[in-house]
């Protein structure tokens, strides 16, 4: 069983019983207790549970309530978020743009994370403001109701004033030949600017969007450093992306 599926199982068991033990989970998951301990450590560090002697209990002191943390990995986007967390480090400056995968990533960040976040995504502002260690910079411009984002020349000019360590890009579509594409021209233009002003670009995409395309081109696939989906990175559909030098998580 892949790590993310074990995470989902552990959190589901925790929701049902309010406490889980290493030995019990080892037997149910058919893995070693050391593997279970590592999984519990990862979930503890992500703020999804509280590690105790011999197991774990629900965490009660997160900036977001346990219930608000999007239902214990029931959605594929939560698997994407947990994978993407490995790329987010304390002290970074991070661009976050639109999309529900970005929203889910924000809701599952470690409680004590320290970041500077620059975003045009109005939907994630309440969640980001719950983190004491996050300095939040909101781009100005024109509100695009369809995607709940801020776009336009003013937003682009603001982005040009920054150099981010990391860009978590919400994805409409990506394809080895057509690259990353977007549904709205204004979003494509802002994504291009964020990409040009970031050191590492990470595409957050559900698997159904891989191999598809929209009208407005953002960039060639080679401009990305990582693609993160809910599917195991060994899937054959990723072979073309890997040949182009993109890492798949």
Question: What does the alpha-carbon distance between residue 59 and residue 65 come to, in Å, rounded to a whole number?
Answer: 9
pLDDT score recorded for residue 59: 61
Inter-residue long-range contacts of 20-27, CB under 8 Å, 24+ positions, other chains counted: 20/55, 20/56, 21/54, 21/55, 22/54, 22/55, 23/54, 24/55, 25/55
Band of the pLDDT at 221, cuts 50, 70, 90? very high
Domain spanning 3-57: which CATH class is it, in words?
A: mainly alpha
And the tokens for 137?
Answer: 């910079």
What's the pTM? 0.71
Question: What is the topology classification, in CATH, of domain 76-248?
Answer: Rossmann fold (3.40.50)
Stated as kind and residue range, the H or E segment containing 156 is helix 153-159
- For 43-74, how does the pLDDT look when each residue is reduced to its tens digit (9 = 90+)? 887 767 778 888 888 764 334 433 343 344 45
CA distance to 18, 29, 96, 204, 226, per residue, from 104 (Å): 23, 26, 12, 10, 18
The full set of domain ranges for the chain reads: 3-57, 76-248
- Averaged pLDDT score across all residues of the chain: 88
- For 137-187, how does the pLDDT look when each residue is reduced to its tens digit (9 = 90+)? 999 999 988 888 999 999 999 999 999 999 999 998 999 999 999 988 999
Q: Give the pairing type, strands 20-21 and 55-57.
A: antiparallel
Average pLDDT of the residues in 75-97: 91
């Amino acid at each position: 069983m892949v790590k993310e599926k074990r995470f989902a199982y552990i959190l589901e068991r925790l929701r049902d019983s309010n406490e889980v033990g290493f030995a019990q989970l080892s037997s149910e998951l058919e893995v070693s207790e050391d593997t279970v301990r590592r999984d519990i450590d990862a979930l503890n560090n992500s703020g999804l549970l509280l590690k105790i002697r011999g197991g774990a209990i629900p965490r009660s002191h997160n900036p977001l309530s346990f219930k608000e943390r999007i239902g214990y990995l029931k959605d594929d986007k939560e698997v994407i978020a947990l994978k993407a967390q490995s790329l987010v480090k304390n002290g970074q400056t991070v661009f976050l743009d639109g999309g529900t995968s970005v929203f889910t990533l924000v809701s599952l960040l470690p409680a004590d994370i320290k970041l500077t976040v620059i975003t045009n995504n109005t939907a994630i502002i309440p969640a980001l403001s719950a983190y004491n260690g996050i300095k939040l910079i909101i781009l100005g411009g024109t509100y695009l109701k369809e995607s709940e984002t801020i776009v336009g020349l003013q937003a682009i000019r603001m982005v040009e004033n920054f150099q981010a360590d990391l860009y978590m890009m919400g994805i409409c579509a990506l394809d080895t030949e057509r690259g990353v594409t977007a549904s709205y021209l204004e979003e494509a233009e802002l994504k291009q600017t964020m990409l040009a002003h970031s050191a590492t670009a990470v595409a957050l995409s559900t698997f159904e969007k891989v191999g598809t395309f929209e009208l407005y081109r953002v960039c060639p696939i080679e401009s990305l450093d990582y693609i993160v989906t809910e599917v195991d990175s060994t899937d054959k559909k990723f072979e073309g992306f890997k040949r182009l030098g993109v890492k798949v998580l």
